[in-house]
A and B are shown apart, each in its own frame.
Chain A
Amino acid sequence: MTETPYAVEMEEIVVRFPGVLANDRVNLTLKRGEIHALLGENGAGKSTLMNVLAGLYKQAAGVIKIHGRPVSFNSPKDAIAHGVGMIHQHFMLVPTQTVTENILLGLDEPRFIMNLPHYDQKVRELQAQFGLQVDPTAKIWQLSVGEQQRVEILKVLYRGADILIMDEPTAVLAPKEIDELINTMRSMVAQGKSIIFISHKLHEVTAVADRVTVLRKGLCTAEGISAKGLTQADLARLMVGRDVVFSVAKEEQAPGSVVLSMKNVSAQNNKGVPALRNLSLELHSGEILGIAGVAGNGQSELAQVITGLRPCEGSILVNGEEVANQPPSKAIAQGVAHVPEDRTKVGSAPNMSITENTIMKDYSSEPIGNGWSINFTKARTRAQKLKKMYDILAPSVDTMARKLSGGNLQKVILAREISTNPRLMVAVQPTRGLDVGAIEAIQTLLLEQRASGTAVLLISEELEELLSLSDRIAVIFDGQIMGTVDAKNANIDQIGQMMIGSKLETL
């Protein structure tokens, strides 16, 4: 065996799907002990390439070498036997089982008798080695998203992987969790692991990666170039093939009358813990109010009480009408549109067509329906119009929602919500997990809503996004608003202080 510095060499990989060349002679090399970023827009072929490496797909042509040796994987089992493990974007965990049980799932050992404490100890040792703290005896459903991800990483490490593929690991994490993840990645690399990570967030790539490979429409536009000295603009150009405007232009505009007025609203989260405490805020037409904060400080619950999805105490007026503790249909009737946090679990019906997904909010009102029947011809025509207007990439409006990429699904949801001519739009993490092209499109749509006089409540964990879109930014911490600042002359340190619990008055 010749000694090569490469843990992985993928040469001239070709993957074909019906009608699409997903990977066209793609090369990727991973050195031992490096963090290699794989960049590209949605549908550029990143996940496909990594699924080939993880043994989920088989390439039509091309060679894969692991530590210099050619290999042929027929299943993820073969891949893990060669030390290649993938951490998927959507976690594959059993919610009712403990961390250790999930890690042991599918392994040949233990064979029959589960001596859990013994394995808990093994898991703890692994945690100590890489700094991945999570209680091995906790059940998955009790864990935060960041902790669940650590379980996924532990699962792969436990199986002896030394080459880790991370599919958009930061997409679901809060800023603090991202920092922790980056530390873990550094510590893993320091101990001889090699990491390929897929990301959309350019600043993370420039911060963490040693080298970068960029894909565009199945082709390599950069093969393992050094990340040193690369700017975000360089990367964006490689990804999209044109210059990308990072801050969307926003017109000056005076806010109108009060649309949303919340007074002393309190609510509990799913576990019965107070999530909103006496929260009050006001929002005007033609205004974007950004809600900043670390994930899990009541943002999801805030959106849910306004849209009628969660019971609460206090008063929530939309155009002077009480919507608190009313069924969701009441908020919808008051012109409240909602871009939910979870596109797939809440915002869409996976096995229904684009057409059927676009009529979710107005299937019983004119012109789509008359209360009894639905005019599917009209629904279809409108869906086709929306598809064109919002540039939704899909074979047809009869395509099932589950076949759409994240960005296209989000466009379907936005198209539906905007077409109801809302007076208030509650948008939660509208750009999470999307590529730069889609982010730009979604942000532009939100600004258009503002220009047309809609009040927009924008809940986001991306501070940059909040700063560029919002008129005012309110910071939420532990279910309370710490303070509201003007976005134009906002002080980022001040916002940061409020995000960790200091009141504006005390700063």
Chain B
Amino acid sequence: MTTIAPSKRFQLPYTISLEKRVEDYPKWFPPAITIGAVLIAFLISGIILKLIGGEPLRVASFFYEATFGSWAVFSDTLVKATPLIMVGLACAIAFRMKLWNIGAEGQFYLGAFAASLVVLVPLVPPESPKVVIIGAMIIMGMIGGAVWGFIPGFLKARFQVNEIITTLMLNYIAISWNNFWIFDRWSDAGFQMTPTFDKSAWLPRLADYAREYKMFSGITLHLGVVFGIIAAGIMWWILERSSWGYEIKLIGDNPNAAKYAGINIARNIVLVMMVSGALAGLAGMSEVTGVVHRLQERISPGYGFTGIIVAWLAKLNPFTVILVSILFGALIVAGREIQPSGLALMLQGFILFMIISSDVLLRYKVRLTRQTA
């Protein structure tokens, strides 16, 4: 045995080396890594806060109080999480097929627009029962988003047009389209919003039942969150149990194999884009009827784009999308409550960064070896 002369420069007592994982990891490992990554993001944010003279623990407790501290604030968090759940699911199903739909924002706007048509045109008589009006709005909202998803889907399936470009560009068209109607046609006394809808077009909120149940007074949580949870359940079934979900996953993993297995790829591209658009459109409908009760400018502060991050952080798993959405909903609420509001953004950035970096641990093992002198 020969030894190589140790180098003169400073060396750590350990060497860190990354090795490719050969064996499978246990089931609990990926979620544990993710939770660890979020905790580390909180820790780093805390350290930075301390360095600039803040009081991390007080901020943390305030953060908690403002987002999960009581039923009222937790309801605010869920209200913000609701559109994220549906938009996150919209992105997740498309991404499973490696179809990069980054147009959820536009599909959201079109969904909001089409749902509003029910009241503004009106498509159903205004004196119809609530169930009919809301039902019509759900259908129209999903159709609106699906149409906006169909366009890039068809272009890709038929002419191989890159969906990243088309979906992105369609976002701006959707926003401008919305603006035209609310500025020019339906403007309420010159403001960039339509008049408030009649109560029969409002999604039921918990606060509506405050007379029967005292505890619900002032709770703004609306039925939209149930849409989100049902959608997640259906999506899970589609992806994990249905033939169609198998086709989606197979196309995503190896399109050549999918073609070889007799799967019609073009048809699936169009279908998945439409379902993805319909989910984003449903989110738009739920915002219009559940929160703002009118069509207005900037009904989405970028939910469609946050949905991309949500889907990604949830590893495209429908149920995890719900959890990640609640976390991001909390960050949005906290951003409103905490000064400076940039704190929440910083935290959001660190969480994203940590979770994405933690992927390395799934693919590689880190080994510490003691340096032999």
Contacts and interface: CB of A to CB of B under 8 A. Distances in A.
Partners in one complex: yes
Contacts of B244: 372
A376 B241 contact: yes
A363 B260 CA distance: 13
Contacts of A262: none
Contacts of A332: 261-262
B260 A18 contact: no
A345 B256 contact: yes
Interface in A364-405: 364, 369, 371-374, 376, 395, 399
A347 B246 contact: no
Interface string A336-352: 00101000011111111
A72 B264 CA distance: 52
Interface string B255-275: 011111111100000000000
A178 interface: no
Contacts of A307: 260
A360 B249 CA distance: 11
Contacts of A331: 262
B22 A18 contact: yes
A172 interface: no
A156 B249 CA distance: 39
B168 interface: no
Contacts of B243: 363-364, 369, 371-374
A350 B242 contact: no
B22 A356 contact: no
A326 B217 CA distance: 63
A363 B251 CA distance: 14
Contacts of B237: 373
Interface string B1-34: 1101000000000000000001110000000000
Given A346-B257, A348-B257, A395-B24, A360 B250 contact: yes
Contacts of A360: 250, 257, 260-261
Contacts of A364: 243
A348 B1 contact: no
Nearest to B244: A372
A17 interface: yes
A345 B258 CA distance: 11
B128 interface: no
Nearest to B249: A352
Contacts of B246: 356, 359, 363, 374
B261 A348 contact: no
B359 interface: no
A256 interface: no
Interface residues of A, number: 38
Given A63-B1, A364-B243, A374-B246, A329 B262 contact: yes
Given A17-B22, A372-B243, A376-B241, A349 B257 contact: yes
Interface residues of B, number: 25
A328 interface: yes
A17 B256 CA distance: 32
A309 B255 CA distance: 12
Contacts of B249: 349, 352, 356
Contact of B250 (A70, A328, A352): A352
Contacts of B261: 328, 332, 360-361
Nearest to A344: B254
Interface string B67-85: 0000000000000000000
A19 interface: yes
Contacts of A359: 246
Interface string B232-245: 00000100011110
B337 interface: no
B259 A349 contact: no
B188 interface: no
A95 interface: no
Contact of B242 (A19, A346, A356, A372): A372
A348 B256 CA distance: 9
Contacts of B253: 349-352
Nearest to A345: B256
A376 B262 CA distance: 20
B260 A338 contact: yes
Contacts of B263: 329
A117 interface: no
A18 B23 contact: yes
Contacts of A395: 24
A327 interface: yes
B257 A373 contact: no
A484 to B, nearest CB: 28
Contacts of A369: 243
A348 B242 contact: no
B22 to A, nearest CB: 5
Nearest to A332: B262
B241 to A, nearest CB: 5
A309 B261 CA distance: 10
A426 B197 CA distance: 64
A345 B2 contact: no
Contact of A373 (B241, B256, B262): B241
A327 B265 CA distance: 11
Contacts of A352: 249-250, 253
A266 to B, nearest CB: 22
Given A63-B1, A349-B253, A352-B253, A374 B260 contact: no
A282 B4 CA distance: 68
Contacts of B259: 309, 328
A347 B1 contact: no
B242 A373 contact: yes
A359 B263 CA distance: 13
A372 B244 CA distance: 7
B251 to A, nearest CB: 9
A340 B261 CA distance: 11
Contact of A349 (B24, B254, B264): B254
Best-surrounded residue of B2, B244, B250, B257 (most CB of chain A within 10 A)? B257
B262 A346 contact: no
A70 B257 contact: no
Contacts of A63: 1
B254 A328 contact: no
Nearest to A362: B261
Given A350-B254, A352-B253, A374-B242, A361 B22 contact: no
Contact of A70 (B2, B241, B242, B254): B2
A360 B253 CA distance: 13
Contacts of A346: 254, 256-257, 260
B257 A327 contact: no
B176 to A, nearest CB: 37
B257 A374 contact: no
A361 B315 CA distance: 27
Query: Would you list the 6 A-B pairs with minimal beta carbon distance, nearest first?
Result: A329-B262, A349-B253, A360-B261, A328-B262, A18-B23, A349-B254
11 contacts: A19-B23, A63-B1, A309-B259, A328-B261, A329-B264, A332-B262, A345-B254, A349-B254, A349-B257, A364-B243, A372-B243
Given A363-B246, A371-B243, 8 more contacts: A328-B259, A329-B263, A348-B257, A352-B249, A360-B250, A360-B257, A360-B261, A364-B243
